[in-house]
Amino acid sequence: MKKFAFLFAWGSLLTSLSAIAQENLDLEKAIQIGLEKNLQIKIAVENVNLREGDEKIGVGELFMPTVDATYLRSFSNEDVVQRFVNDPAPREIDDAKSRSENFNVVGLYGFRPEAIVTMKRLGELTEVSELEAKISVENTVAGISTAYYRLILELQRFQVLRETLDLSRARLDIAKAQYELGGAGKRDFLTAEVDYNSDSSLLLTQEQIIQNARVNLNELMAIDPHEEFFVKDTILVGEIQTLADLEENAFLENKQLLINQRMNNVAFLQTRELQASRLPMLNLNATYANNTSNSDAGIVAQNQRAGFNYGGNITVNLFSGLTLNRRIQNAKVQQRIQQSTLEQYEIQLKSDIARAYNTYSNNLRLLEIERKNFQVARENTDIALERFRLGIASYLEFRDAQVNLLTAKNRLITSIYQIKEQEIELLRLSGKIFFDNSMEDLQLPGD
């Protein structure tokens, strides 16, 4: 279990979860809580304990002798009639007593050549369980990170909708004043009121989305879904390596790939294990016995024996109904299947990395476009609002500029989130999700 010390190296938790509601929750703290409390990780770690226990059991069964001690005492009362060859007259003994006392220590040891291969196979399976636990940790870290940034995205969208509602309120106030002064018709005022109510509805809906995003994050951290906390309003992204470096790291560090490699070794060892079972098996035995018997009847009144017996044998299987041959053939088939599975996953891994990297690179290029588009949309909205205030522009022109600003800002913050989402996926696929240390803030222009 020492190999899993890193799982909880993120630090200890705060004294109580109630403190979360009183301070900011950053990503590192969220991961700390998740690693400490997430039940999937606990299950994975317990599975490692089980596998290590199986390996130790295998060592004992395959390489250690068995020693059994037996102590026996027995008594009997019998009526005996005895007739001897040299004395034809019968001898009768009523209520003859006999008793015996036996103490034995038996040691057995059997060495099978395939035991060495078996231990290697059990060791590979233990490593598989450890890698599965690491996968559970990585998935938890990736899931918490994605949920954390998703919450930030929804909070940013809420801010965008609130700013849009402020514009709608300003437009409604202008339309109301113009209507009351006779400078505009009632239709313009009612349309502005409808748009304001529509934007208010969107804001309320976004509040529900935020609450669900909080619940999702709390679920991954295994805390109460009603826990409240504050998160930063920015999304952090880091520098990603080149595609070639990511693929190289993945073939060294991707835990699922390592599991497939280990399982390929297991299939090979299973074949070798069956083949080795054809070799001679050595069995050794030793016994210490101390036996005492007393009898009122018979020639021998007392018999006592104490000493050691030992020996051994070599056993070779000559024929088992071709069962062993069939098992070896099946093991070779399984070995070919596992080799194909490994090669297929290698192709899948490279494809997954290529897709995520293409999406990541494209989103980086789109980000600059979205930044510029947001600047233009914001400037256009400012101009449209001023023109509407002066009565030069119609409400349709202002509403169009307002919707364009809402769309531009949503696309900008979504683009930033998608960059982070693909970054997390690339780090997970390359097995480097714990080493994302180079961070920079990506903030909205003008915020």
Whether 49 and 1 have beta carbons less than 8 Å apart is answered as yes
The yes-or-no verdict on residue 13 having pLDDT over 60 is no
Query: For the chain, what is the largest distance between any 2 Cα atoms, rounded to a whole number of angstroms?
Result: 151
b/e per residue 324-340 (b: at least 16 CB within 10 A): eeebbeebbebbeebee
| Token representation of residue 58 | 């295998």
Whether residue 165 is contained in a domain is answered as: yes
Number of domains in the chain: 1
Question: In angstroms, rounded to a whole number, what is the distance separating the alpha carbons of residues 212 and 225?
Answer: 9
H-state helical runs in 181-254: 186-221, 243-253
Element (H, E) at 84: strand 66-84
Question: In angstroms, rounded to a whole number, what is the distance separating the alpha carbons of residues 325 and 397?
Answer: 83
* C-beta atoms surrounding 444 within 10 Å: 17
Whether residue 112 is contained in a domain is answered as: no
* pLDDT, tens digit (0-9, with 9 covering 90-100), for 97-126: 788 888 888 888 878 888 888 888 888 888
The structure tokens 């999406």 sit at: 359
Whether residue 197 is contained in a domain is answered as: yes
* pLDDT, tens digit (0-9, with 9 covering 90-100), for 388-442: 777 776 667 777 887 888 888 888 888 899 999 999 999 999 988 864 433 333 3
* C-beta atoms surrounding 190 within 10 Å: 12
Q: Look at residue 338 in the predicted model and tell me its pLDDT.
A: 93
Kindly calculate the radius of gyration of the chain based on its CA atoms and give it in whole angstroms. 40
Whether residue 114 is contained in a domain is answered as: no
Whether residue 258 is contained in a domain is answered as: yes
Whether 79 and 93 have beta carbons less than 8 Å apart is answered as yes
Top-confidence residue, 423 or 93: 423
Instruction: Supply the pTM of this predicted model.
Output: 0.76
| Token representation of residue 336 | 């070919």
Question: In angstroms, rounded to a whole number, what is the distance separating the alpha carbons of residues 299 and 80?
Answer: 13
Whether residue 64 is contained in a domain is answered as: no
Least confident piece of the model among 182-191, 211-220, 271-280, 411-420: 182-191
Question: How would you classify the pairing of strands 302-315 and 66-84?
Answer: unpaired
What CATH number is given to the structural domain containing 179? 1.20.1600.10
Q: Look at residue 148 in the predicted model and tell me its pLDDT.
A: 92
- Closest listed residue to residue 444, CA positions, set 403, 410, 400: 410
- Domain ranges, residue 259: 2-37+139-279+324-442
Least confident piece of the model among 34-38, 59-63, 133-137, 373-377: 59-63
Strand blocks (E) in 296-411: 302-315
Whether residue 18 is contained in a domain is answered as: yes
Whether residue 201 is contained in a domain is answered as: yes
The yes-or-no verdict on residue 311 having pLDDT over 80 is yes
Burial class (CB in 10 A: 0-12, 13-18, 19+), 158: middle
